[in-house]
């Protein structure tokens, strides 16, 4: 059993308590100032909150991204019989693999995710944005921006990018929602776990059939492009490819939806920054980047020490869990001047909103493309856009993600 030397006292706060879900930043700032590498008995994990310390972990091959086993351990005993195939699928997600396996899997998608390849979807994204806003953001109306705009727009773009036929959309996105419950830890009851595990299996079955269809009838989508490059069946097996597609399907919509909503909220609560974007629409890019830093869709990632790791004069023992709190690292005053200020013109230090290094988010270019297009069009073409219920906002109860349950606005 791992033992740890006592550190100076800091009041423990449960990161999934309602007040921490609503606003974790004050506590994370205090934690970083207290000890940027801190053993938390409450969470049975190291909480790493300093920028340099998080970067050190992201660079260290001894800090492993493999967390399929902890996810499986969280499944209630009664649902374990359904779990074997589902967790076999998760084991093929490159996000849960370390180098060199991670490198081999990631290379299959490298060209398809390059900025120049993603740029092909700019026109489609802008047309889809205008079409959705014409229906959902009628001037003078009130609506939930999350449900009406932030969720459906990334879904449209990602479905087009993956080559999902519109008629398959409802089932496809239902499965994705249930998979998110499993991976992000929001499934609690045995019935919820069973639904999530089955959804992951159904998603793999669907994508496997779609790959077979694209072999016979290639299109201009991601699956067809990767198949044309000839790596499937060579550097990766078809089973690995389909497993990774389930990761792409899950990751695409959730992160971008939350990024859009969080950026709009940041601007609507900061009139000077909103005015700057409206005066110079190209600053929508800066607004998205500043949201990724200050209040992005990802709060932290979970790692495990594959062997003993020395970090900031502490020893993390093999097998210890590590919470890399990028939400705290991105507010580190040692790295970011005036870190609590939202500034659409900020430049300088690189934020960790999409991670860093080997596990830098492969879909970052596409997420940025969609988020910037939606935010720019929303704030520039809707001068009456305001919050409808500033005091009634609620956040999803997730350890890892930062996402609103709804964003009521006046258009």
Tokens 């080997």 locate to 358
Look at 57-66, 171-180, 197-206 and tell me which has the smallest mean pLDDT.
171-180
Query: Quick one: pLDDT band at residue 6, thresholds 50, 70, 90?
Result: low
Alpha-carbon 111 to chain mean position: 21
Buried b (16+ CB within 10 A) or exposed e, 140-176: eeebbbbbbbbbbbbbbbbbbbbbbeeeeeeebbebb
Is there a contact between 72 and 87 (Cβ–Cβ < 8 Å)?
Answer: yes
Joined together, the tokens standing for residue 410 give 């006046």
Work out the number of other CB atoms within 10 angstroms of the CB of residue 56.
17
Considering the entire predicted model, what is its pTM? 0.92
Region 174-194 average pLDDT: 84
pLDDT, residue 393, reads 96
Alpha-carbon 404 to chain mean position: 13
pLDDT, residue 77, reads 74
State how far the Cα of 216 lies from the Cα of 320, in Å rounded to an integer. Answer: 47
State how far the Cα of 144 lies from the Cα of 327, in Å rounded to an integer. Answer: 26
Give tens-digit pLDDT for 8-47: 567 889 999 999 999 999 999 999 999 999 999 999 999 9
Look at 43-52, 177-186, 364-373 and tell me which has the smallest mean pLDDT.
177-186
pLDDT, residue 8, reads 55
> Does the domain spanning 24-410 belong to CATH 1.10.630.10?
yes
Region 107-124 average pLDDT: 90
Look at 1-15, 359-373, 378-392 and tell me which has the smallest mean pLDDT.
1-15
pLDDT, residue 84, reads 84
Is there a contact between 372 and 284 (Cβ–Cβ < 8 Å)?
Answer: yes
Look at 181-190, 275-284, 309-318, 330-339 and tell me which has the smallest mean pLDDT.
181-190
Is there a contact between 281 and 292 (Cβ–Cβ < 8 Å)?
Answer: no
Give tens-digit pLDDT for 261-315: 999 999 999 999 999 999 999 999 999 999 999 999 999 999 999 999 999 999 9
Q: When comparing pLDDT for 111 and 22, which is higher? A: 22
Of 401, 292, 394, 392, the C-alpha closest to 342 is 292
pLDDT, residue 68, reads 81
- Is pLDDT above 90 for 324? yes
Domain limits, the chain: 24-410
Mean residue pLDDT across the chain: 92
- Is pLDDT above 70 for 2? no
pLDDT, residue 3, reads 53
Joined together, the tokens standing for residue 115 give 């900025």
pLDDT, residue 73, reads 74
Is there a contact between 185 and 74 (Cβ–Cβ < 8 Å)?
Answer: yes
């Amino acid at each position: 059993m791992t033992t740890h030397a006592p550190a100076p006292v800091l009041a423990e706060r449960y990161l999934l308590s309602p007040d921490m879900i609503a606003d974790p930043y004050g506590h994370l700032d205090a934690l970083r100032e207290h000890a940027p590498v801190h053993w938390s008995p409450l969470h049975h994990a190291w909480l790493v909150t300093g920028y340099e310390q998080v970067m050190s972990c992201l660079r260290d091959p001894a800090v492993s991204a493999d967390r399929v086993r902890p996810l499986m351990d969280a499944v209630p005993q009664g649902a374990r019989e359904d779990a074997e195939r589902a967790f076999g699928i998760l084991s093929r997600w490159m996000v849960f693999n370390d180098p060199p396996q991670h490198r081999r899997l990631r290379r299959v998608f490298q060209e398809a995710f390059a900025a120049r390849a993603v740029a092909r979807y700019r026109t489609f994204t802008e047309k889809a944005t205008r079409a959705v806003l014409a229906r959902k953001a009628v001037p003078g109306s009130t609506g939930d921006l999350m449900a009406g705009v932030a969720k459906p727009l990334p879904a449209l773009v990602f479905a087009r990018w993956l080559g999902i036929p519109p008629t398959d959309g409802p089932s496809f996105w239902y499965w994705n929602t249930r998979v998110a419950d499993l991976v992000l830890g929001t499934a609690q009851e045995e019935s919820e776990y069973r639904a999530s595990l089955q959804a992951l299996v159904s998603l793999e079955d669907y994508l496997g059939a779609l790959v077979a269809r694209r072999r016979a009838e290639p299109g201009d989508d991601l699956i067809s492009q990767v198949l044309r490059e000839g790596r499937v069946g060579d550097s990766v097996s078809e089973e690995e490819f389909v497993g990774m597609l389930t990761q792409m399907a899950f990751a695409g919509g959730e992160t971008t939806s939350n990024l859009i909503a969080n950026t709009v909220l940041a601007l609507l609560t900061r009139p000077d920054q909103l005015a700057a974007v409206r005066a110079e629409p190209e600053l929508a890019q800066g607004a998205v980047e500043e949201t990724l830093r200050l209040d992005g869709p990802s709060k932290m990632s979970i790692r495990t020490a594959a062997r003993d790791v020395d970090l900031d004069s502490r020893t993390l023992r093999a097998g210890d869990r590590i919470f890399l709190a990028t939400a705290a690292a991105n507010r580190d005053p040692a790295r970011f001047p005036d870190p609590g200020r939202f500034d659409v013109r900020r430049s300088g230090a690189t934020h960790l909103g999409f991670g860093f290094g080997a596990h830098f988010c492969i879909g970052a270019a596409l997420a940025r493309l969609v988020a910037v297009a939606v935010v720019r069009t929303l704030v520039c073409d809707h001068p009456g856009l305001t919050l409808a219920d500033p005091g009634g906002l609620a956040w999803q109860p997730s350890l890892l993600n930062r996402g609103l349950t709804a964003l009521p606005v006046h258009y």
